[in-house]
Amino acid sequence: DELLKPDAKGFRGGVDTGFMSWTKGREVSFQYAASGGAGMLYEVSMGLIDRGADFAWLSQYPHEQEVTYAPLTAVEVMNTRVEEAVLVVEVRLNINLAALTLDQIVSKMKRSHLGLLSILRDELRLQRAPAAALEKLQQL
């Protein structure tokens, strides 16, 4: 597994580009990991700042106590150990504090769209478009 191999600086881990889902239920995880013989289990340390969103209320399997982390969360391998036939990988997660919030993303998209509309209206005025067409754009 690439996550377990140290890089040139000796770090083990990586950055996930998608959402990551973990469970707070160790028993659930261990059951899945041990079900097919030798398995792997990630044991996550959640800190005060680097926390995920509790999705148990939304999950199809609420007993799994699902916690979801945003894209670009870093996963750093701290230690490994073996329990029964399962390799337990202790990891620390670091969220991307520079990532925009959903409100910021929506606001940025709105500004982009309004800017595009302004350019379009200006171009249509220069091309002497009918007033009715410009009026419809002005209402947006």
Give the CATH number of the domain where residue 60 resides.
Answer: 3.90.176.10
- Same domain for 72 and 110, yes or no, is no
- Same domain for 78 and 127, yes or no, is no
Residue 34 has pLDDT above 90, yes or no: no
**Single pTM value for the model:** 0.63
- Same domain for 57 and 126, yes or no, is no
Name residues whose C-beta falls within 8 Å of residue 14's C-beta, 6 or more positions apart in sequence. 2, 3, 74, 75
- Same domain for 14 and 78, yes or no, is yes
- Domain span at 106: 102-139
- Same domain for 111 and 88, yes or no, is no
- Same domain for 53 and 16, yes or no, is yes
Structural domain count of the chain: 2
The percent of residues in the chain predicted with pLDDT above 90, rounded, is: 18
Give, rounded to a whole angstrom, the gap between the first and last alpha carbons of the chain: 52
Q: Count other Cβ atoms within 10 Å, centred on residue 88.
A: 19
- What would the pLDDT profile of 53-72 be if each residue is shown by its tens digit? 888 888 888 888 888 888 88
